[in-house]
Amino acid sequence: MYLVRTPALRALRGQIAQTGHELATVLRGLDGLAAEREDGARDVAVRHARRFAFDAALARIVDALDGYLAALRGVDAFAEAVPALATHERSVKARLDALLEGVGVECTLEVALAHLAIQWRNRRSHTGSTNRLEQRYVAKIRAAEPQLVAHARGMTAKRLLDHFEASRSPRPRELAALARAVRESCAQADGALVLVADPEAYATWALRSAFTVEGAAGDAPARLEQVWAQGPDKRGGRLAQLLRERGFAESPAAAEQGELPDEWIDDLAHSGVREVGARLGLLEERREGRDPP
């Protein structure tokens, strides 16, 4: 099996997609409200509400990015492969920079727009904020004018950056471009991260988390024993399923993808429950040695 993506990336994509659905629902409601009557005061209120909705959506997008970075930091295998991930820096920008530099992702248009999303969120969410976008990202956005036009007809680098500098709410096309950029830049980083992470170290963490999810750590041994009440073949199948749910696949996404040997899962499946619990860090290993499967 091969580690091809992280659960954190799936969560980020889901949160961004859900934000889009919720924003569309809010905007439909505001359109209906505006159509009810022709009233100048009501029109002003609807315009303000639309701006609020766009600001809230932008904040949710950046929050999804923040959550993605936090999730990666909590995985030992990733922190070992990219020590910069272990930083306790609170800044989303600094942690994104640490990840991208740690895995060798270059400054693409998506990366530049992701940084723009962070600074734009800060300006709209924090009163008096005058966060600046680094010049290298400004230059990348300006140089990628054809890509911008392809992604959103009518959107130019100048209009985008001028709107940001004016600290106004993002327009619908701008918000869509920022959401796409956060999603794609994280996908770029994710693809590079799984190439440098040790598959066995990650698989150990993934199974440990699988048995402790949605419950206290003290419940994990009982969950493990439920699986081990079955025969070795069924145990192995269940372990493989848990790994697939956490980013493993049968085929590599890249030629240089590290492989988790089938023997690794088979060895776990044929080991005793206490030994497996100790290997996964769920309980202390007995000193008498290997217990019967």
The 10s digit of each residue's pLDDT in 132-174 is: 999 999 999 999 988 888 777 778 899 999 999 999 999 999 9
* Residue 289 zone, left/alpha/beta (φ > 0; ψ -120 to 50; rest): left
State the number of CA atoms in the 13 A half-sphere of 13 facing the CB. 11
- 188 or 32, higher pLDDT: 188
Would residue 140 count as lying in a domain?
A: yes
Please state the rounded mean pLDDT for residues 14-23: 97
Strand partners, 249: 2
The 10s digit of each residue's pLDDT in 94-134 is: 999 999 999 999 999 999 999 999 999 999 988 777 789 99
Report CA Rg, the chain: 23
The last residue of one of the domains, among 180, 196, 212, is: 196
Residues 124 and 243 in one domain: no
Lowest mean pLDDT among 10-24, 29-43, 68-82: 29-43
Residues 185 and 221 in one domain: no
Lowest mean pLDDT among 54-63, 129-138, 177-186: 129-138
Would residue 288 count as lying in a domain?
A: no
The last residue of one of the domains, among 196, 230, 256, is: 196
Q: What is the dihedral of CA 138, 132, 16, 7, to 10 degrees?
A: 90
Contact 74, 92 (CB under 8 A): no
The last residue of one of the domains, among 196, 222, 248, is: 196
Would residue 181 count as lying in a domain?
A: yes
Residues 239 and 169 in one domain: no
Placement of tokens 């991930």 in the chain = 85
Would residue 292 count as lying in a domain?
A: no
Residues 162 and 224 in one domain: no
Burial of 227 (0-12, 13-18, 19+ CB in 10 A): middle
Residues 165 and 62 in one domain: yes
Would residue 225 count as lying in a domain?
A: yes
Burial of 106 (0-12, 13-18, 19+ CB in 10 A): exposed
Mean pLDDT of the chain: 88
Residues 145 and 161 in one domain: yes
Residues 189 and 230 in one domain: no
The 10s digit of each residue's pLDDT in 238-289 is: 999 999 999 999 988 887 888 999 899 999 999 998 899 888 888 754 444 4
Residues 186 and 267 in one domain: no
Residues 19 and 148 in one domain: yes
Domain limits for position 111: 2-196
* DSSP helix/strand/coil, 168: coil
Residues 186 and 212 in one domain: no
Please state the rounded mean pLDDT for residues 62-76: 94
Residues 182 and 207 in one domain: no
Give me the number of domains the chain comprises. 2
Burial of 31 (0-12, 13-18, 19+ CB in 10 A): exposed
